[in-house]
């Protein structure tokens, strides 16, 4: 029976420029100084791991009330050179409308397209892989893609989120039929004039 340090690490996804991006932070301290790592940190005395993930997310990005889900726990004994540290990994999805702390302050945090990541500290590459796989799978049986969009969105925007997550193009008509048939979207009486023809806005029911 030993005591060990416990961290949470959060894979924070968002959509930028129609591509799936995630948040990384450049490490200022050893080990892996100068390398990028997932946002995260040690859990506090009186908070659950979920609460720790929520807190880290707020500290690093300023966002709250977003989708957050526990992913997996990584507990290899040598995964952190400083000693025994196990980490509970989380996955967060944040809509692009959010004012991000990281995009406003002169931070060491930056967004990276998932297909163009730098080399990561610790076992964080493995954690990211785990998160991407989970997200892709989840899209098959849930409508979790909404979480990466603002409250009101067009069907084309939703489709491009799905395409960004899956990594392949979808058929427009099939996508629309399927998503509308699921009855999870509420059509609104507003249209967005983004391109030429205005596009109908929808929102997620509940």
Partner DNA sequence: TCAAAAGTGTTGAAGATACACCCATGG
Partner DNA sequence: CCATGGGTGTATCTTCAACACTTTTGA
Distance from C-alpha of 101 to C-alpha of 99, rounded to nearest angstrom: 7
Looking at residues 30 to 49 of the shown chain, list those that interact with a copy of itself (rule: CB under 8 A). 41-49
Residue 200 binds which entry of DNA, a copy of itself, none, CB below 5-8 Å type-dependent = DNA
Query: Is residue 133 close enough to count as binding a copy of itself by CB under 8 A?
Result: no
Query: Is residue 21 close enough to count as binding DNA by CB under 7 A?
Result: no
Closer by beta carbon to DNA, 33 or else 200 = 200
Least Å from the CB of residue 93 to DNA: 22
Looking at residues 113 to 172 of the shown chain, list those that interact with DNA (rule: CB under 7 A). 154-156, 171-172
Distance from C-alpha of 25 to C-alpha of 60, rounded to nearest angstrom: 9
Number of residues that bind DNA (CB under 7 A): 19
Distance from C-alpha of 112 to C-alpha of 100, rounded to nearest angstrom: 14
**Beta carbons within 8 Å of 20's beta carbon, 6+ residues apart:** 13, 14, 113, 114, 164, 165
Q: What is the number of other CB atoms lying within 10 angstroms of the CB of residue 53?
A: 27
Number of residues that bind a copy of itself (CB under 8 A): 26
Binding mask 92-131 for a copy of itself (x = CB under 8 A): ----------------------------------------
**Beta carbons within 8 Å of 87's beta carbon, 6+ residues apart:** 6, 7, 8, 9, 40, 73, 74, 75, 79, 127
Least Å from the CB of residue 172 to DNA: 5
Q: Show the tokens assigned to 93.
A: 């999805």
Residue 72 binds which entry of a copy of itself, DNA, none, CB below 5-8 Å type-dependent = a copy of itself
Closest to 72 (Cα-Cα) out of 55, 57, 53, 94: 53
- Which residues form the interface with DNA (CB under 7 A)? 154-156, 171-174, 176-178, 191, 193-200
């Amino acid at each position: 029976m030993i005591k060990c340090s416990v961290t949470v690490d959060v894979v924070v996804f968002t959509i930028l420029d129609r591509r799936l991006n995630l948040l990384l932070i450049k490490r200022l301290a050893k080990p892996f100084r100068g390398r990028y790592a997932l946002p995260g940190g040690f859990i506090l005395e009186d908070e659950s791991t979920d609460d720790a993930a929520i807190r880290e997310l707020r500290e690093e990005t300023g966002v709250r009330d977003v989708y957050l889900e526990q992913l997996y726990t990584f507990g290899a004994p040598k995964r952190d050179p400083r000693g025994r540290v196990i980490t509970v990994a989380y996955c967060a999805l944040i809509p692009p409308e959010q004012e991000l702390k990281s995009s406003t302050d002169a931070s060491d945090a930056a967004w990276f397209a998932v297909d163009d990541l730098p080399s990561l500290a610790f076992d964080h590459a493995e954690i990211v892989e785990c998160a991407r796989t989970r997200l892709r799978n989840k899209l098959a049986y849930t409508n979790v893609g909404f979480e990466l969009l603002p409250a009101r969105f067009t069907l084309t925007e939703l489709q491009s989120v799905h395409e960004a997550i899956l990594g392949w193009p979808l058929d427009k008509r099939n996508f629309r039929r399927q998503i509308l048939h699921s009855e999870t979207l509420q059509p609104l009486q507003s249209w967005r004039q983004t391109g030429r023809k205005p596009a109908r806005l929808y929102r997620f029911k509940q």
